[in-house]
Structure 1
Amino acid sequence: MTDIAAPAAPQREETTSARRGPAAWFARQQTSELVAWGVLFAAAIVVHVIGLGNRPFHHDESQDAYFSYLFRQTGDYQYNPLLHGPLRFYLTGLMYVLFGDSNFTARLAPVLMALSMVPMCWPLRRLMGRPAAFCAAALFAFGPSYLYFGRFAREDIYVAAITLGLLVSIWCYIDRPRKYHPAIIGAFLAASFATKETTFITVFVMGSFFLFSFAIPAWREELIGALKRAGWEGWGWFLAAFAGLFTILFTTFLTHPGGLWDGIYTGLKYWIDQHGVARGGEPWQFYSTVLITIEWPALILGAIGAVSLWRRKPYFAAFLVWDFVLSLIVYSWAGEKFAWLVLHPLLPVILLAGVGLQAIWFTRGTLRYVGLVGAAIALFYVGLASWWVNVDRGADPREMLVSTQSAPDVKKVADQVQALADSRGPGKPPLTVTIDSSQGATFPYAWYFRHLSVGYIDLAQQNAPPPTSDVVVMTDEAHARLQNALQAYDGRQFQFRIWWVRDYGAIRPGNLFSYITQRKVWNPTGGMKEWLYVKKGL
C-alpha cells in the first residue's frame, strides 16, 4: 500500500504548481507592466522639466506668470474672462509659495498637469487594451504638441488634462459603474469650467454624442443602465461635487461671491462676443493644417485604431471619433484660432493612435511587417517633430505650434537688465527701468522685471516726455520720435516678436511636403523690433 500511495504526493504537488503557474505568470506580467509605466513616467518627468525656464516667455505665458505672482503677493483674485478661469492662477501661485517665483516655477504647474495625463491612461487599459493605453500615454508624454504646450504657461494643457480625466471617469463609469464615479465626474467638470470657457464646447461635443447614442438601441440600454446604477445618491454626489468646487474656485474661496455669476454667465457671454473679433487671424483650415503637418502620424495611426477599436468596443470607438470630428469642426468654426487649441481635437486622436499601434503589433502575416515599418517611420517623425519644436526651435516662427512668440533676444535683454540691477552694490539706488507700453509691449517685461523699479509708459504718444531712467526699452515708433533726446544712452536694436503669417492660398503639395520634412516655409516670416537703451557708464 505504501508503494501504491507514494506517488500521490508528487502528483498533488504537480497539480498545485500547474494551478499556480498562470497566477505567477500574470503576476510577473503585471510587475513588468508596472515597471514599464514607471520608466515611462520617469522619462516624461525628465523631458518636461529639463531646460524648462530657458525658452523666452510668450506674451500670454508672461501674463499667466505675472498675474499668478500678484495673486501670490496679495492673496486677492477676481475672475476676468480675458485671462480665463482661476484654477491655473491658484496652482501657479501655489508653486511660487512652495518653490519661489522663477521662470522654472512659472511653468511648473502646466508641467504637472501634462505629467498627470500619463497615469490617467492607466484606467483605460480595459477599454483600449494594455499596450494601447501605454502607447497613448507615451504619445501624450513625448508627442510634439502635447510636450510643447505641456511646458507652456497657458491654461490649455490644464483643460486637456482635465478633459482626459473627465473622459476616463465617464467611460470607467459606463464600463463598470460605481457610486463614487459621478462625484469624480462632477469635480472634473467644475475644474474644467474653472480653467477655461472652452469647457462649454467640451460639454456640447460630449453631450451631443450621448444624446445621439439614445438612437442606437444597444448603446441606449448601456447608457441608461449605467445612469441607473449610481442611483439618486450617486447623482446627488455629482451635484454636490460640481457645485461645491465650482463655487469655491470662482468665488476665490468664498471671498468674492460675484464670481459665481461670472463663472455661470459672464465668461460665456464674453467669448461669444469675441467670436466676431476672430482673434489669431487664422482661417478655418488652420487646425487641419497643423494636424496634417505636425501630427500626421497620430492621424494615420488613429484611423487604424478607430477601425480596430470599433470591432471590440464600438460604443467607445464611436465616441472618440465623434469627439475628434465635432471638436475639429467647432474649433475650426470658432472665431479665435491659436495653435494651443489644437490640443482639444487631438486628444481623442492620440487615444485612437495608441489602439492603432496595438493593432499593428498584433496583426499577423506580411501585413504585420508592413505595418511595423510604417509605424516605425511614423514614430520616428513624432520624435523628430518633437525635437524640432521642443529643443531646437522652441521660439522659431517656422513651427506652426509657435504663435507670435517673443524672440530669443527678449530673454537676453531681460537677463542683461537683471544683471545690471544685481550689480548695484549696497547703498546704491535701485536700477530704474522704463518700458514703452505701446503696441501691447508691456508683456513679457512685466514678468521679467517684476522685482525691479519699472514704469510702463506709452512713449509713442506725442506728449510723452523723454525718459530719464537708467534703462529704456522702446518700440520702433517711440524710437523714431525720441532718438534725438537719448544722447546720454547707448542703444541697440533687437528682435522683440516673431511670427509667420501663413499664406494658405500658396500651399501646394510640393511646398507642403517641404514643410513637413524640412520646416521650409512657403512664404516669409516676419516680426517686430524694439530698442534697448542703457545710460552711458552703466
Structure 2
Amino acid sequence: MNKKHFVLAAFFILIIFLAFFLRLYHLDERVFHHDESAVGYFTYKLFNDSVYSYDPSFHGPFMYYATSEMYRHLEDTVFASRLLPALIGASMIFLLIPLRRYLGNTGTVIAAFFLALSPSFLYYSRFYREDIFISFFTLLALVCAVKYAEAFDKDRGKVSLLNLHFFAGYSIERVFYLALGGIAISSMAALKENAYIIMALIALFLFLFFIREGWYRGLIDRLKRPDREFIVPILEGLFLVLVVLVVFSLFYTGNLLDISGMKAAVEKALSHWYEMHRIERMGGPYFFYIARIALYELPVLVFGILGMFYYGCRDRKKEKLLAVLLIYWVFVDIMYLIAQSFPWTGKFLPITYIQSSILIFLPILVLGMIGVVYIKNRFIAFLVFWALSNFFIYSYVQEKVPWLVLNPLLPLVLIAAAYLGEVLPGLNIRSRAGAAAVFFLLVSSLFFVHSSLLLNYQNYTDPAEPMIQASQAPQKFSEVITKISEISSGYSNQSTEIQITDVNLETQFLWHGRHYSNIKWKVSLDAEFNAPLIVVHDSDGNETEADVMQRNLGSDYIRLDSAKMSWYWFKMSDITPEYVLWRKMNRPPDEYRFVLFYKPVTK
C-alpha cells in the first residue's frame, strides 16, 4: 500500500468512527416526534402483548419486529427505539467498500464523508422511522446487483474443457448475491410502501438495459433453441422472484408463500397511498425536495449535477443540453404563471399542480431513461437514471414530507463522489477555474457540515429547520412528561389517574403513557375533574378551555403550559442571510398548545 492509499484508508476508517459517534451521541435527547410516538407505541404493543396488525398509515412490519427485539434486550426506551436506525445509518458506509472499483479510492472516501455528515442522512439516522432502513437496503440491493454483474461477466469469460456440463464454470456467489439482493428488496417492501416505486424503477431500468445491450436480437431463435447462456439467467431471475415473494410472505402473513395474504397487503398499501396522493393530504410545491437539498446538501447537489453532465455528455453537448432545458423550463413556468393569473387560460394551459409538475420534471425522467442507453459506464448510467427518476416521481407525488428526500439524495451522493474522485486528482488549482472549483468545494462543504451540526445538535426541534416536519413536538414537551412522572410518584405511581380532554393529544401521549394503567382519554369538559394530573387543550382567545379549567380547579392545581407541535408558514421574505446561516426567524412559530394541571402531594 502506497502512502496515498494509506492516507485514504486512514481517512475512511476515521469517517466510520465519526459516523457512529455522531449518530449515537445524545441519541435520546430530542423528544419523540408524533410519528415516533405512534410507531413506538405499536412496537411496544407487539413487544408487550404480541399484537401487530398491518396499517399502511404506519407502514410495514419489519421495523416493529426488529425494534421489539431491541426492547427485549434494552427495555422500551427512546434510546432503544432509535438505536437500530443509528447503527443502520452508520453502517451504510461499509456498503461503499464493494463499490470502490466504481467510485475510485478518492470517490469512496468522499462518499463516506457525505453519508457520515449529511444533514439529511444524519437526522434520519437519529429518528425512529423506516426511511434510513430503506436507504440502507436500497444501497445493499445495488451492491448485490453490482457484485452479481461482476460474477456474471467473470463466468461468461471462462473457458473450460468442462463447459459441456450445464453448470460448469458457474460461480455460486451469483446465487448468494441474488438471494441477498432478494432479501434486501423484500425487506424494503416490509418496511415502507415506497418500496413498490423502487421495484417499478428497477423493472424499468432492466427493460432499458435489455434494449441497451441488444439482448432482443435473435430472441425468437433463442426461445426456440434455448442454450445454457439463455436458460441460466432466466432460472436466476425466477430464483430472485421466489426469494422476494417468500420473504415478503413471511413478513406480512407468517406463512411461507401465502399468495392471497400478499395480494391483500399490496392492495391495501397501494389503495391507501394512492388515496393520500389523490386528496393531497400533505401537498407541497414541486420544488419541495430540490429546495431542501440545495439548503442542506449543497456540494452534493452541485457536484452531482455536474457529474451527470460530465458522464452523460461529451464535447459541447452539455452546454447545448443545458440551454435547451433552461429554455424549456422558463417556457413551462411562464405558462403556469399565465394560467394562475388568468383562470380562463386553464382550458389549454397547465393550471393544476399535477399538470405543471409533470411538464416541468418530465424531461428529467426522459434524460434518465436516455442515460441508461447512452452512458457507457453502466454503474453511472444506473445512478443517473435512479437520481432523475426519483426526482420526477417524488416531485410529482402529493405526499411531500422531508424524509422522502433520502430517495433522490442517495444516488446523487454517489454520483457527486464518483465525479469528484475522478476530477479532483487532475485538477489544476493554479488555473482560475480549478481554484474556483476547489474554493467552492471547501466553502460548500463547510456550510454542509455547519448545517448538519446545527440541525442535529442545536435546532433539532426548531420548526425553522425545513428538514423538521411540523409534527415534531417542541423540546418543552419533555417537561410535561417529567412532571407527570414526578407527580405520579407521589400518588399511585403508574396507577395514578390522568384525565385528558384534548382528543388530538392521544397519539402523542400513547407512547409516553404506555406504562400508565389509569389514563382517562377524551374526557368531556362537563365531567368531574379530581385527578392529580389533568391535560386540556389551549388556544388563542379571551377565555380558553385551559382558562376555564384553571378557574374551576382553583389554587390546588399548578398550571404548566406546553405544546404538542409547532410550525411556520414560510414566506419569501423569510429567506435572509440570517435564516440561511442560522435559521433565524423574525417571529415565533405557531403552536398547537395544551396545558397540564397537576396537584402536588400535600405533606
**TM surpasses 0.5:** yes
Residue number in structure 2 paired with 1:164: 139
Matched, 1:347 2:347: no
Task: Tell me which residue corresponds to 2:101.
Answer: 126
Residues in 1 aligned to 2:558 and 2:142: alpha-carbon distance in whole angstroms: 57
What's the TM-score, normalizing by structure 1?
Answer: 0.85
Does residue 473 of structure 2 align to residue 410 of structure 1? no
Give the fraction of aligned pairs with identical amino acids, expressed as a percent. 25
Query: Match of 1:182?
Result: 178
For structure 1, the residue ranges without an aligned partner over 5 or more in a row are 1-24
CA-atom RMSD in angstroms:
3.0
Give the alignment partner of residue 300 of structure 1, picking from 294, 299, 302: 302
Q: CA deviation at 1:253?
A: 6.4
Q: Which amino acid aligns with 2:126?
A: R
Match of 1:486 among 536, 541, 553: 553
Amino acid across the alignment from 1:412: E
Per-residue displacement from partner, 1:235-261 (whole Å, max 9, x unpaired)? 343133212211111124679997533
Partner Cα distance (2:404, 2:123) in 1: 12
Please give the alpha-carbon distance, in whole angstroms, between the structure 2 residues aligned to 1:397 and 1:277.
Answer: 25
Q: Secondary structure at the match of 2:175?
A: coil
* TM-aligned CA deviation for residue 50 of structure 1: 0.8
Are residue 420 (structure 1) and residue 487 (structure 2) matched? yes
Matching of residue 436 in structure 1 with residue 436 in structure 2: no
Indicate conservation of the 8 Å contact 1:170/1:181, yes or no: yes
Secondary structure, aligned partner of 2:32: coil
In structure 1, the residue matched to 2:58 is 83
- After TM superposition, list the pairs within 5 Å mapping 1:212-361 onto structure 2: 212-217=208-213, 231-252=233-254, 259-310=261-312, 314-361=377-424
Query: How many Å separate the matches in 1 of 2:83 and 2:271?
Result: 31
Aligned residue identity for 2:533 = V
Q: Contact conserved, 1:304 with 1:359, CA < 8 A, in 2?
A: no
Aligned residue for 2:565, secondary structure, equals strand
Give me the whole-angstrom Cα distance separating, in 2, the residues matched to 1:481 and 1:186: 59
Deviations along 1:37-63, one digit per CA (max 9) or x if unpaired, are 333222111110110000011100111
Q: Are 2:538 and 1:471 equivalent residues in the alignment?
A: no
**CA deviation profile, 1:351-382 (whole Å, cap 9, x unmatched):** 11212331342123234443222211121011
- TM-score normalised by L of structure 2: 0.76
**Correspondent of 1:198 among 171, 194, 200:** 194
Q: Secondary structure at 2:561's aligned position in 1?
A: strand
Aligned to 1:501: 569
Structure 1 residues 235 and 329 mapped into 2: Cα distance closer, same or farther (>3 Å)? closer
Corresponding residue to 2:122 among 140, 147, 163: 147
Checking the alignment, whether the CA contact within 8 Å between 1:496 and 1:527 is kept in structure 2 is: yes
Residue 66, structure 1, aligned to residue 18, structure 2: no
Three-state SS of the structure 2 residue aligned to 1:453 is coil
Q: 1:447: how far off?
A: 1.2
- Alpha-carbon distance in 2 for matches of 1:171, 1:43: 27
Amino acid across the alignment from 1:379:
S
Note closer, same or farther for the CA distance 1:363–1:132 as it changes in structure 2 (3 Å cut).
same
Cα gap change, 1:407/1:240 in structure 2, threshold over 3 Å: closer, same or farther?
same
Count matched residues: 502
Q: AA paired with 2:384?
A: V
Q: Partners in 2 of 1:79 and 1:536 — Cα distance?
A: 42
Q: Is contact 1:180–1:234 with CA below 8 Å preserved after alignment?
A: no
Aligned to 1:8: none
Aligned-residue offset at 1:492: 2.8
Distance in 2 separating the partners of 1:313 and 1:433: 66
Distance 1:226 1:192 in 2: 32
- Partner AA of 1:319 in structure 2: F
Q: Quick check: 1:525 aligned with 2:500? A: no
